[in-house]
Amino acid sequence: KQEVTQIPAALSVPEGENLVLNCSFTDSAIYNLQWFRQDPGKGLTSLLLIQSSQREQTSGRLNASLDKSSGRSTLYIAASQPGDSATYLCAVKKGTGNQFYFGTGTSLTVIP
């Protein structure tokens, strides 16, 4: 079974800092990896999706990388803002149409 781990569980940084969130997975046979943010009481918002053939994806201040061979992905957030405060989750998809396996998330607090 695919295991997805996110470390640290919580992170607090001052506004303006660049930061990296980590996601590791045990089975490298994945179709894609997706990063989400979840605000309190809300569902998950898709941030970036990296297909297995890709190494990275960028959207605005966000950059996600994927290293399948080592079972790792990172989400880089540049120039963090208080509005970035949320829980960030990664999920890997194994096989066509099969379930996504989620990490337990990193709770990010950006201090003004």
Partner 1 sequence: GAGVSQSPSNKVTEKGKDVELRCDPISGHTALYWYRQSLGQGLEFLIYFQGNSAPDKSGLPSDRFSAERTGGSVSTLTIQRTQQEDSAVYLCASSLLGDSRSPLHFGNGTRLTVT
Q: Which residues bind partner 1 (CB under 8 A)?
A: 4, 31-32, 34, 36, 41-46, 49, 51-52, 89, 91, 93, 96-105
DSSP per-residue string spanning 11-57 = EEEETT--EEEEEEES----SEEEEEEE-TTS-EEEEEEEETT-SEE
51 Cβ contact list (under 8 Å, min separation 6): 31, 32
Residue 34 near residue 46 (C-beta atoms within 8 A): yes
**Residue number, 18 or 46, with CB nearest to partner 1:** 46
As measured in angstroms, the least distance from the Cβ of 32 to partner 1 is 5
As measured in angstroms, the least distance from the Cβ of 67 to partner 1 is 17
**Residue number, 46 or 109, with CB nearest to partner 1:** 46
**Residue number, 37 or 80, with CB nearest to partner 1:** 37
As measured in angstroms, the least distance from the Cβ of 17 to partner 1 is 27
